[in-house]
Amino acid sequence: MRRRNFILASLALGTLPLAQSQTTTQDMPAWAAQFKEAGVSGCIAVLDARGGAQTLRVADGARTQRRFSPASTFKIPHSLFALDAGLLRDEFQVIPWDGVQRSVPAWNQDQTLRSAMRSSTVWVYERFARELGAAKEIEYLRRLDYGNAAVSGAQPFWVEGDLAISAVEQFAFLKRLYLNELPFQVAHQRLVKDVMVSAAGPDWILRAKTGWTGRIGWWVGWVEWPEGPVFFAMNMDTPNRLQDLPQRQAMVRAALQTLKAWPQTL
């Protein structure tokens, strides 16, 4: 019982250690076939760290190295920036709605960090960007070594602008977050991981975030197991726009199922 309680507590905090072992890479043609069958281009990268292993499995390995706009997956590090800068105290602080009616009903109300992450509330993070300013955003991005650390171009810079990151860079960042190794307060890292929770079971937790620029769709995150985490990052073109978006989770789910890394009850 004591061992089980320790594992569950570690899962809740996302702090189970990863073994310091060399990563091996394996190409997964069956995963790549999913994109071909869907008639879209895309990639999946999965780092399976269960049991101390470090196995990187990829579909379209070349694309996993290409940088794309992170879209709303940037809400993960952006939340850390807001907390570190004192724009947010905690997950309970109310972020007042500006009264502007937007296309997503869930956005048309006051927000908290948890609701803004859950509903991917763009105006909240646009407000953070204005309050932080470009120089501070660049400082934080460089501190994290996050993609190309660019805030130029159209705004918001993480959707329409020049900020770009690759799939392998995404889960490298997520791995550091899982380990509380980012250059931010551990309490802030744990809080961001908490608001990332998408689903949970008796012995697993899914922490993830979607993103969409209108042209590129993302899903990044990890599944925590007692044996260790399984990180994933996928992106895909979305020529059919909204019609293509459900493929993000479906393709990751199918890929993780081949590794027995997807919860059977989810």
Same domain, 59 and 174: yes
Same domain, 58 and 87: no
Domain span including residue 128: 76-153
Same domain, 59 and 88: no
Q: Is residue 144 part of a domain?
A: yes
Q: Is residue 161 part of a domain?
A: no
Q: Is residue 46 part of a domain?
A: yes
Q: Pick the catalytic residue from 10, 21, 69, 72.
A: 72
Same domain, 223 and 240: yes
Same domain, 43 and 170: yes
Structure-block tokens of residue 255 = 């890929």
Same domain, 221 and 109: no
Name the domain count of the chain: 2
Same domain, 135 and 244: no
How far apart, in whole angstroms, are the C-alpha atoms of residue 186 and residue 139?
19
pTM for the whole structure: 0.91
User: Tens place of pLDDT for every residue, the chain, 266 residues?
Assistant: 333 343 344 444 444 445 445 678 899 999 999 999 999 999 999 999 998 878 899 999 999 999 999 999 999 999 999 999 999 999 999 999 999 999 999 999 999 999 999 999 999 999 999 999 999 999 999 999 999 999 999 999 999 999 999 999 998 999 999 999 999 999 999 999 999 999 999 999 999 999 999 999 999 999 999 999 999 999 999 999 999 999 999 999 999 999 999 999 88
Same domain, 86 and 113: yes
Q: Is residue 31 part of a domain?
A: yes
Same domain, 104 and 213: no
Q: Is residue 129 part of a domain?
A: yes
Same domain, 174 and 63: yes
Q: Is residue 104 part of a domain?
A: yes
Measuring CA to CA, which residue among 62, 14, 54 is closest to residue 191?
14
Q: Which residues contact 130 (CB under 8 A, 6 or more apart)?
A: none
What pLDDT, on the 0 to 100 scale, is given for residue 11?
42
DSSP-H helix ranges across 45-106? 61-64, 75-84
The residue out of 93, 124, 153 marking a domain boundary is 153
CATH number at residue 183: 3.40.710.10
Same domain, 97 and 118: yes
Q: Is residue 133 part of a domain?
A: yes
**Active-site annotation holds for 198:** no
Same domain, 204 and 264: yes
The residue out of 120, 153, 186 marking a domain boundary is 153
How far apart, in whole angstroms, are the C-alpha atoms of residue 185 and residue 176?
13
What pLDDT, on the 0 to 100 scale, is given for residue 25?
87
The residue out of 107, 128, 153 marking a domain boundary is 153
Phi and psi angles of residue 220, each rounded to the nearest 5 degrees, phi first: -135, 155
What pLDDT, on the 0 to 100 scale, is given for residue 265?
87
Q: Is residue 158 part of a domain?
A: no
Q: What is the SS3 assignment for 158? A: coil
